[in-house]
Amino acid sequence: MEALLQKTGVVAVVVIDDAEKAVPVARALCAGGVPAIEVTLRTAAGLDAIARIAEHVPEASIGAGTVLSGEQVNQAIDAGSQFIVSPGCQPQVVEQAQAANCPVYPGVATATEAQAAWNMGLRILKFFPGGLAGGIPMLKALGSVFRDVKFMPTGGVNAANLGEYLAQPSVIACGGSWLTPASAIASGDYQTITDLAAEAVGIAQQTRNQD
């Protein structure tokens, strides 16, 4: 998973209300070069969507986002999740995922939270909410202290600032829901999703080739 994050630089965050649309959304993202897909559990359709993608889109690396409890970790893994993402750093979530040998990326916004996660053995952390938690200046500060940690900024990241985030040495990838607009999912406009994914991958490749 770490190699995939480093290679693509982008994780698509998907909020889906209709599980029937999960497979075409996942295929559209993969067609655009973004196989790392985080389906959030913010909606009742989340687990079903994960299960459908896991079964029908083998080229995708499917994970569960907005995982808030150990019970949800188990449910997500049972549905086919290959990684777990959480908005905060909750020990039960981390421990449950680790016990299942499933990569887990808890959210941190402060040095205290990052230190707690570091002491749980974690070296890839979600930085959330990225924009509101201090953006790039905060990432620079955290990266200077936690030198063996890579961060995945999510929240406030978009095509306009993706390159700036990925240019930071401490950033392994960025998560974002801008790749899957609710309007595009609702209308079945999967080409727009593919185009947005391809644009993001292009930005990531250009940024990292310059480095």
Task: Name the residue with tokens 């053995």.
Answer: 121
Cβ proximity of 142 and 122 under 8 Å = no
Q: Which residues contact 149 (CB under 8 A, 6 or more apart)?
A: 114, 118, 122, 123, 124, 125, 142, 143, 170
- Of the chain, the percentage scoring pLDDT greater than 90 comes to 98
pTM: 0.96
Q: Give, in order, the Cα–Cα distances in Å from 76 to each of 54, 61, 124.
A: 11, 13, 20
* Arithmetic mean of pLDDT over the chain: 97
Confidence of residue 211 (pLDDT cuts 50, 70, 90): low
**Residues with a known catalytic role:** 38, 126
**Residue 102 located in a structural domain:** yes
Q: What is the pLDDT of residue 76?
A: 98
Q: What is the pLDDT of residue 208?
A: 87
**Residue 208 located in a structural domain:** no
CATH number for position 165: 3.20.20.70
Confidence of residue 160 (pLDDT cuts 50, 70, 90): very high
**Residue 21 located in a structural domain:** yes
Residue 210 has pLDDT above 80, yes or no: no
**Residue 35 located in a structural domain:** yes
Q: Which domain holds residue 122?
A: 2-203
**Residue 210 located in a structural domain:** no
Q: What is the pLDDT of residue 43?
A: 98
Residue 98 has pLDDT above 70, yes or no: yes
Q: How far apart are alpha carbons 136 and 122 in whole angstroms?
A: 21
Cβ proximity of 36 and 199 under 8 Å = no
Of 95, 106, 43, 51, which Cα lies nearest the Cα of 77? 51
**Residue 32 located in a structural domain:** yes
Confidence of residue 180 (pLDDT cuts 50, 70, 90): very high
**Residue 43 located in a structural domain:** yes
pLDDT tens digits, one per residue of 57-72 = 999 999 999 999 999 9
- The total of structural domains in the chain comes to 1
**Residue 209 located in a structural domain:** no
Q: What is the pLDDT of residue 102?
A: 98
Of 89, 130, 136, 93, which Cα lies nearest the Cα of 112? 89
pLDDT tens digits, one per residue of 104-145 = 999 999 999 999 999 999 999 999 999 999 999 999 999 999
